[in-house]
Structure 1
């Protein structure tokens, strides 16, 4: 840098440092995660050049600090040189925007305490949503295989499921399943199976055919194993059994929704969700139907016709492979055909709605009395409020194993609830 060059003020893409230190390393991370920038070492915060005693030593420290202390490798995006300001030697570090964001301090990992972004003239920790956005924008690998923002994960529920199936779940197995990457960091697949997973499922029961009045609602978070079991039992609680008698006075019992179909629909909700998008999956029960809404449209290259034929393109292949190994799913691509077969002779067929970022499955009730025949209001249903457990065929008839492991974290509210929901439990 030529002598006599006027000193700029610090800003979005410029920062001054008296010497190279850990603060300078944070600034490099922030520049790489933002729009790039320049660090001038040997200049006071007010822009006054003070110089660097040993330029070569300072350049070496900067090079080693960036090489050893920042991940992913940032070397090709950094240029380190020397210059002169007001007759005093300085070191200039130019940082270009990186293509493998988020960049982070290696000793802190890809979490807010290790990931920095530039805001004005300062470098600040990135929020978790900002980190996830960087991962979505720049990742070259599926969401499952990217590094989890949360590295403090536990697996009580998952360990219980693997133990019940007689499958080891130690460090080696977690690595082979894709829960741990080559650097020993937990992946997002591990986060989905962990007790800390926040990609929740919200379930609610409504009066009538709209969402004006609800009678119950809960939100399930934690391991996907616990979420599935929790929401399955919730749906079962409100899945009524109705009895009719034939000409020979033999009783015929039928539930509003076949338990096997409910199981397939909920498994599809878990397996095919786009977990890179924030927001809960939704399960809504009405007097005449059940709606399941999921983030993520059809995978790229797949059509609605393909889906109806049972063609399957896995959005989360690692998760699907684990559930197949645990015998939660029988085979890929059988869920939709099973649902259609159950409604083969039904007067109202299931509905499928697809957008770019969402998928909605509508299951009609099997009991015609639950549906108005003249478009009028729905009659009151005897199932609400319902007993804690129906005395007829229950969920365990299709899911015989006892529940175990960590239960899904949930909160409930609504008329008839004896205990108030904990503060800040369920965002409304």
Structure 2
């Protein structure tokens, strides 16, 4: 029997640590045979105890290689030239990529056969093996990153009194039955690689930034921090209906909440690009990566029809009572604006989905105060200063402030309202004026 190394044959004089690389490489490729007791040049040295060598290799494979590869290995003791050697037949595995457990599913832990050698696999090759084995559903694929922690997720589950242990993580799909983290696990881990970028602009375009921030960590952490970022800037404005004060925030809290949850649950995570939140003076935009799921139209989703892209992720948000049911979020957003005279807009492309919430308290350009000549309008400046100090003013108070007659004062206030310097509320004796 002649021995010679090839793409499918590896020779080892005895068991060494890097024998794991050869076995992994065969399992990740087309399979192969490993002969122990034979030198690289094909010289048969033989083994004193072949059964012990087989057991040693078996233990090494079971303890050091993931996923479990034992069922794809067959051991046989051969006698060649009166000497005993061990032949290990390695079949191509069905759960590729296989890797050294301590090094993880990275190039330094994953090996493939290249010519007569076993070499580290590229990231591209690793992703290809994952996709080929696990299919196209992103959240069910095994994560390239396996060194994960879940501190924020644990706190989120605890707040909802939902158990979050190893058994639950497997049931929910964060971990495979072999203990390997999935991409769903990566999304909820503290090491999540997907981010949300938020920006606040001065005006209605992107010419001037007021603030910007990138949110990282578990999707739960991003959810909480992004909501706080928006909520802090979601101002409350007051109007008066007769004697009653009416407070209204720029954006209905329900609409903000549902738009943010939609951004998190329904985005396409197979792309590494960030999601975006843009806050202008007249609108708030949520832009997520990934257009509509194939077969679903914009009209469908506004009617409450939903085909979920990330089923397992949505199920977790449902269990935590963050979402109520599929397809209700956009309906809630629309309902939040009912009776306001404004309506949210939705824009889609092949690779993006945008929800635009109008600012309920925004002043249109035509209604903004006219700045030209304001410095010369001393009465107007005094009225504005008093209104800013008190919150609201009456015509009588303006008469006393300016020592002005009733008719002149009425004309001044009417002019200021028409120019957008003041907003009038109430009628007759209950008329009040406030700043825009």
Given the two structures, how large is their TM-score scaled by the length of structure 1? 0.67
Shift of 1:95: 6.5
Aligned residues: 364
Q: Determine if the alignment matches structure 1 residue 308 to structure 2 residue 308.
A: no
Partner residue, 2:233: 238
From the CA coordinates, give the structure whose radius of gyration is larger: 2
Q: Determine if the alignment matches structure 1 residue 298 to structure 2 residue 292.
A: yes
* Aligned counterpart in structure 2 of residue 195 of structure 1, from 190, 203, 208: 190
**Cα RMSD (Å):** 4.3
Residues of 2 paired with 1:208 and 1:55: CA distance?
82
Bigger RCO of structures 1 and 2 (CA < 8 A, at least 6 apart): 1
Residues of 2 paired with 1:167 and 1:118: CA distance?
45
Shift of 1:54: 5.2
Q: How does 1:106-255 map to 2 (within 5 A)?
A: 110=105, 113-117=108-112, 123-126=118-121, 131-132=126-127, 134-140=129-135, 142-244=137-239, 248=242, 252-255=246-249
Q: How does 1:363-382 map to 2 (within 5 A)?
A: 363-369=357-363
SS of the residue aligned with 2:248?
A: strand
Q: CA 1:286/1:61 → structure 2, altered by over 3 Å: closer, same or farther?
A: same
Q: Which runs of 5+ in 1 are unaligned?
A: 375-428
Partner residue, 2:335: 341
- Identify which range, 294-303 or 322-331, moves more after superposition: 294-303
Partner residue, 2:317: 323
Q: CA 1:198/1:95 → structure 2, altered by over 3 Å: closer, same or farther?
A: same
Q: Deviations over 1:149-192 (max 9, x none)?
A: 44443333223223322333344444443444323444433333
Partner residue, 1:264: 258
Q: CA 1:121/1:324 → structure 2, altered by over 3 Å: closer, same or farther?
A: same
Q: Determine if the alignment matches structure 1 residue 49 to structure 2 residue 8.
A: no
Shift of 1:245: 5.3
- 2:291–2:352: 8 Å Cα contact kept in structure 1? yes
Residues of 2 paired with 1:354 and 1:206: CA distance?
24
Q: Deviations over 1:265-320 (max 9, x none)?
A: 11111112233332322212223332222233333443333212112223333332
Q: Deviations over 1:101-159 (max 9, x none)?
A: 22223566545553234567754545767645542343148443444444443333223
Q: Which runs of 5+ in 2 are unaligned?
A: 369-436
SS of the residue aligned with 1:302?
A: coil
SS of the residue aligned with 2:286?
A: strand
- 1:287–1:371: 8 Å Cα contact kept in structure 2? no
- 2:333–2:344: 8 Å Cα contact kept in structure 1? no
Residues of 2 paired with 1:154 and 1:79: CA distance?
36
Q: CA 1:161/1:14 → structure 2, altered by over 3 Å: closer, same or farther?
A: same
Q: CA 1:31/1:307 → structure 2, altered by over 3 Å: closer, same or farther?
A: farther
Shift of 1:80: 8.5
